[in-house]
Structure 1
């Protein structure tokens, strides 16, 4: 048993050498090995290890999740939409903020929610913990996760499904700090009420079994104090946070918050890709006014949705940190020279659109265990005073029957990128068979990771083309600022101390030094960044060379630069942005709770303003 994890490493080395000699040049980052390692190993290890227990109970869990799916009669395919429709509010993006926002606004207005992806319900790869990695590794055109690679050479994904990132992530639920709320200018009482509104539907206390308990006790032992128990609050020390998975392993996404909606006042169209926001210049108004959107259904047919003729009617972008700045630019709001270079008519020259892009860097160590471990997603977090967050996940099952389809999936990827395929089918099949032969179905172990606060380092987003289906070009500039790198180093030191702690000792092979775990991570091509021999001995270089994403990217439409404090786009009328693109920093240890809260919070504010103006007779 002690050699089991070394067999895993051996398998990866064999496949690496095989693909390295068989694939394209070093500059071809779509080589099959990288695709395999990152999509499956990285995403699976970092966020969830699927245990034999859940595989045995897979069909029972699927049945339960399908029965629990809400009967949303207002959710329809965009192919059923009329050519032209009218609403009080048009929300672009049915994600983590868009769903609670739409549900709230529907209490007193006619709402249209446009989602470019499909429904999470009835899809076991989304709904069930047992199939967590399947969605992230799906590169098909209709996948709920759309993969992209930042200009930094780090693999990433963005959501393409109702519920947004909450339909794909590891489910950790934790609030922002009181200081974050104050700095954002939000009303603390209303914020807490909005969090509670969200938590009634989607937040749960996780079970605490042996691995997570050992991580918790190890964090306390190495000085991440005090121990704060189970709480949604963000506090220094060690705590157990919430999760959006219930005790049956069933995911509860932001789409569940649509249960609050008034079904008579809301319409949700799926597979509705917005091409642009429409603007007009009205007499007596100095600024362009948003009045409608053009969107495409699954058959490629274009539709229009227009605002009703009320002064309070608005279009609201909730397409996320990638989609919102991208769509603003495609609609003519952005840096004028950049827009003209793509043949886009400039509505407003707004150079700050796409600026301030940031992604919290994540680094990790995989820890093989001599003992069986439970399946656990992120449950415990150590919130350090040097602003690094320590988290862990455990229990994995490598069911590699999927590897036989690697060739097919890789061809799909190449068709989208236009790259030539140089590895023959039989070679891919042989590699998949090798993996199946040498790797046991269940490998015991887990991963301990650190994510830094902030970050301070930022980059930018710009268009590649004018196709809204394609990913824009994104640069995050990981570790550009020295303080970010220092936080990572301190976080990795804490992980090393945790692994060596007495509390965690039974889950670590006594004959395996931490240096071997570091060497393992350095040897894996977890990203496309340059590799340096010193990464195995320098934690600074380790952080730089092995950086990965934890999918907490934000920015691009920041408050005070692109939108005002009411999230109204500066320089135009009847348009807001309400999502993580408005953030300067990622809130808490995981932003999803705050993004859902923001949708509810701003929905209530908008309705309050609407009612106040209605009483004053402010209609047109």
Structure 2
């Protein structure tokens, strides 16, 4: 080997040692934090035995996986495998003021793993115990009664499961003045009735729940593990599952799942098998909209031709895996304010009757925090305006295909030079119901650490465009309402002058109100060119296509999927409440099935 080759090898080994060392330090700190919560059953994957046995293997410790595993542990031995680390001790997760930082973090240990859809829209998937509840804006609202009926769920058990979730981590928000003005502006704009504070999904304007407490501290789905049976649950962190194991059982035509293979950060493989006990024991995927279809395909369950393309042996030819994936498009408008605006994440929502949901966010996560002074404000600006900062770097001043890393870098540089008065204000955003436009997920490779290729086909269905147009028109009415007057300039001329003063000679890379909101043709283009994600993607393992009504994977045995990949439409205005509810709901359903089957076996 050449001297250069030896040097490259030494550098590679040094970097690997540094990364593993950093990971170990992080795990030690996280483990100390976990012990404060009595999480003695949480361990690092490198400490896992080479072979182990459980009644249930839950893959994915996210928004559905945590309540599911906690519930199943009430009567069975459960293993929960999470590819990320603990959320505790990480201020980017725990603090409301650092909401944007977690999503902008691109380090290997980040709780958010970035991906860019084939449409060109920057997005993120969770990589942390607690899943998306560790990254989102905290808004909590139930699904509508119609959604529950269409899903075929038992409404009494659904309500009981929601209440179980809400007792653990849902709070009534303190509503600052900007959110109050948004609420009054929505009512003035005709988004009625006034529903006050409610967790129900009903037409009109309301204040919803939040998973941030009054101190701005986030509570996540990982908190449900406090309710787990500490001797029946084991959690391995930094455990990346590479495939589900299947075998053919004598007398059964369908392949049977009997375990999984996962790797720890050192690359060592571990095998986990279901304990002997017949069909009662199961592998349950709760790896999310991207993870569950990806893992099914890596395990040989998916479209045969696609699997063969990647050299994967087909266990069951299932064309529906990865199909029908959708992401609710979000379009936002920045409303500059002549006065300082306090931090607020989503607290108020307008549920329109034409299929658009209108929400708002304001304050320091979009610029220099209003409490920052002196030397500290430059560091704050660097944190909040990274290349792909979630609500600024990817704002659609450029069409999705033009949002290159270089273009985003230039936008971030411009923002860093702007006077902080330019960021006084907030965003009013709209998300459309559904959506009706759908896409698909495909494997890029057989590497389970890599993101699959995701195509959402934003606004392919013209009905989605129409809903967006009406949503933008509603936002314009809110921004021009009397109730919102304190936080807006009197007219476009005054607003433009204020923005120019703050921006100087630089352009202002943020969406402002369209100049001609009554003309729908420019607004249609505006919707397409300013599209972003609101991180509510779903589908890929639809009920009735890939899984049955009991969430069992059709065509195989011993395997279920319980997460947002089973949804055909995103529930309510924000899905986290229903995803957490589903984890609890299906945990209770599975335990009931187990007890009934055990009783039947004892009779015979």
Deviation at 1:363, TM superposition (A): 0.3
Deviation at 1:395, TM superposition (A): 1.1
Deviation at 1:439, TM superposition (A): 3.1
Compared CA separation, residues 599 and 293, structure 1 to 2 (3 A): same
Q: Is the 8 A contact 1:536 1:542 kept in 2?
A: no
Compared CA separation, residues 71 and 392, structure 1 to 2 (3 A): same
The answer as to 2:359 corresponding to 1:379 is no
Q: Is the 8 A contact 1:387 1:487 kept in 2?
A: yes
Q: Is the 8 A contact 1:379 1:392 kept in 2?
A: yes
State the alpha-carbon separation in 2 of the partners of residues 606 and 67 from structure 1: 28
State the alpha-carbon separation in 1 of the partners of residues 383 and 571 from structure 2: 38
Q: Is the 8 A contact 1:535 1:541 kept in 2?
A: no
Determine which of 295, 300, 312 is the counterpart of 1:344. 312
Compared CA separation, residues 68 and 266, structure 1 to 2 (3 A): closer
| Counterpart for residue 465 of structure 1 | 445
| Counterpart for residue 23 of structure 1 | none
| Counterpart for residue 240 of structure 1 | 207
Deviation at 1:375, TM superposition (A): 1.2
User: How many residue pairs get matched?
Assistant: 534
Deviation at 1:400, TM superposition (A): 4.1
Determine which of 167, 172, 185 is the counterpart of 2:152. 185
CA deviation map 1:353-405 (0-9, x unaligned): 00000000000100111122221110000000001000001112424426779
Determine which of 473, 483, 496 is the counterpart of 1:493. 473
| Counterpart for residue 366 of structure 1 | 334
CA deviation map 1:318-369 (0-9, x unaligned): 0000000000000000000000000000000000000000000000100111
Deviation at 1:610, TM superposition (A): 0.1
SS at match of 1:295: strand
The answer as to 2:268 corresponding to 1:290 is no
Q: Is the 8 A contact 1:70 1:259 kept in 2?
A: yes
Q: Is the 8 A contact 2:334 2:427 kept in 1?
A: yes
Alignment of 1:70-109 (within 5 A): 70-109=37-76
TM-score with structure 2 length normalisation?
0.84
SS at match of 1:567: coil
| Counterpart for residue 444 of structure 1 | 424
Compared CA separation, residues 220 and 292, structure 1 to 2 (3 A): same
The answer as to 2:592 corresponding to 1:608 is yes
CA deviation map 1:159-208 (0-9, x unaligned): 00000000000000000001100000000000000000000011110011
The answer as to 2:227 corresponding to 1:260 is yes
| Counterpart for residue 314 of structure 1 | 282
Compared CA separation, residues 349 and 431, structure 1 to 2 (3 A): closer
The answer as to 2:523 corresponding to 1:555 is no
The answer as to 2:363 corresponding to 1:395 is yes
Structure 2: gaps of 5 or more residues: 1-31, 369-376, 389-403, 512-517
Alignment of 1:114-513 (within 5 A): 114-311=81-278, 312-396=280-364, 397-398=367-368, 399-401=377-379, 436=416, 438-440=418-420, 443-512=423-492
State the alpha-carbon separation in 2 of the partners of residues 594 and 513 from structure 1: 44
Compared CA separation, residues 286 and 523, structure 1 to 2 (3 A): farther
Compared CA separation, residues 619 and 554, structure 1 to 2 (3 A): farther
Alignment of 1:12-31 (within 5 A): none
Q: Is the 8 A contact 2:81 2:237 kept in 1?
A: yes
Q: Is the 8 A contact 2:104 2:386 kept in 1?
A: no
State the alpha-carbon separation in 2 of the partners of residues 409 and 302 from structure 1: 35
TM-score with structure 1 length normalisation?
0.81
State the alpha-carbon separation in 2 of the partners of residues 391 and 254 from structure 1: 23
Compared CA separation, residues 254 and 69, structure 1 to 2 (3 A): farther
Q: Is the 8 A contact 1:91 1:111 kept in 2?
A: yes
| Counterpart for residue 585 of structure 1 | 569
CA deviation map 1:260-312 (0-9, x unaligned): 10001000000000000000001111100000100011211110111001120
Deviation at 1:440, TM superposition (A): 2.7
Q: Is the 8 A contact 1:404 1:433 kept in 2?
A: no
Q: Is the 8 A contact 2:82 2:235 kept in 1?
A: yes
| Counterpart for residue 62 of structure 1 | none
RMSD: 3.0
Alignment of 1:10-49 (within 5 A): none
| Counterpart for residue 14 of structure 2 | none
CA deviation map 1:133-180 (0-9, x unaligned): 111111111211011111111110000000000000000000000110
Q: Is the 8 A contact 1:496 1:514 kept in 2?
A: no
SS at match of 2:420: coil
CA deviation map 1:56-92 (0-9, x unaligned): xxxxxxxxx9799623111111111000000000000
State the alpha-carbon separation in 2 of the partners of residues 406 and 456 from structure 1: 33
Q: Is the 8 A contact 1:163 1:255 kept in 2?
A: yes
